[in-house]
Structures are given as C-alpha cells and as structure tokens.
Amino acid sequence: MGDRLNGKVALISGSTRGIGRSMAEHFASEGARVIVAGRTVDRGEKVVGRIRDAGGEAEFRQLDIGDEASVRSVVESTVERYGALHTLVNNAAPTGAVAGSVKPMHEYTNEDWDGIVRDTLTGSVFWMTKYAWPHLAAAPGASILNISSGQSVAGFKGFSAYSAAKGAINSLTRTLAVEGGEDGIRANVLVVGRVVALRGDSGLHTGGGRLTRIGGPMDIAYAATWLSSDEAAFVTGSTITADGGFSINGDAASEAE
C-alpha cells in the first residue's frame, strides 16, 4: 500500500470495469477512500471486494450517468458517507450506445446525437461536476480529472457525436481550471489512446515511421493517480495525453478504422 492519495476521498464514475476499475483499485492502493460508481451492481461489488481484500477502503454506488437525479444522489451519498470529496474522476462514457451509432454524421438521427452527447458530456462531466463542485471547494487539495479520448484530437470515421462531445470536454476542462482557481480546485483532462480493455487487442503496432503500442488500463491508472495527487499541485488546465504516441502518428486515423 502506498500513500500518494492518503486521506483523499475519490469518486470515480464508470469504475466497474476496464480503465475505471484499474483507477479505483490503484487509487485505493495509494490510500484513497474510493467510491466505485457504475451501472452494474455485481461488477461494482466485485471491484469493491478486490479493493477491500487488498487492504483498501471502498464502497459501491449504482450510477446512471444519463439520469441527473442518479448523478446527484451518488455525489451526495459520497459526502454523507465520508464527510468530504477531494477527487472527482469523470470517466463514465456510453460505449455501448456509441458502438451502435457508428455511421456518417448526416445519417445520425437527433436521438442518436442527443443521447451520446447527453451521456458523454452532459451527464458524465456537467452534472457530475455541477453537484460535486461545492464539496470539492470545501476540501483541501481538490481536483477534477476528466477522461477524454484520442477521438477528440484526431478524425475517426463514424464517431462524430462522440468525438464532438470528447472535444468539448477538453475545452471545458480549461474553463473549469480557470473557475476552479478561485475555489482551490484543479482541473485537468487525460486523453486516452487505444487500451486493451476497450479494444481487445494488444502488442506493438507500427505506422507513420513510429513505434507505438496498445496500452493497458494501468497505463492510464498511473497517470490518473499522479494527476489526482498533491504531487501535481502545480498542474491545472492541462491536457495530458496517454496514448503511446498514437495521436502524433501520421497514420493514426487510418489505423483506427
């Protein structure tokens, strides 16, 4: 067990699997008290069980990121349980809905577009941050970490709504950092590249004359831990990319298809 997040209460949305699960488990191993939040109860309880078995402290809260009342309830119950909120990680994203809506922008229905933007931007970042803000402002060393995607910085065929929402998160984070300066809240965005838990592939890939690799969830968890720790106290309004160099690879967009 480490102590880089010792004493902090962390709420991580979308933390029942993949990157979110790794962040929750690693945050707890570094001393944070973690609220594991996600839609699926059995997966969330398993994550909590692993954290507790390893000597960490965690509880599960069921979260529907597309339901404002659910978002507000999770934030409020976190503070009720632990008395504070120091770290908010906005990680949840509607991967299932996105996968079912891969098509050119002109073929999107209003319902397709509104649903993806609501869950990816409005629910995952706006509502979560809105209700967490006063509690973060009351906590020393508070921070917000928004998880974005390589699709926010490169063109990907068929993902217009998701790319637009993730790009908006990048921009919004800079505004949050400016506003947070008055309340002692740091805000940063972590742009995530191809990760094994999401893509199901692994190993080294070449392209554009550069060598890259598919990441693992812990590659993201390590970066998120540092950004949420007091070691990063001078870092705010930053866009940090964790993608093995994928976004600077000239063949990034073609490889993604």
What number of H helices and E strands is found in the chain?
Answer: 10, 9
Question: What does R_g of the chain's alpha carbons equal in angstroms?
Answer: 17
Tokens of 66: 């597309």
Tokens of 55: 């000597």
The residues, any chain, with a CB within 8 Å of residue 247's CB and separated by 6 or more, are 150, 153, 154, 191, 193, 241
Please provide residue 60's backbone torsions phi and psi, each rounded to the nearest 5 degrees.
Answer: -105, 140
Catalytic residue among 82, 131, 162, 222: 162
Separation between Cα atoms, residue 70 and residue 244, nearest integer Å = 35
State the DSSP code for 157: T
Nearest residue to 5 via CA among 229, 179, 173: 229
Tell me, yes or no, if 162 is annotated catalytic.
Answer: yes
Residue type at position 70: S
Tokens of 16: 């029942």
Q: Which residues are tagged catalytic?
A: 162
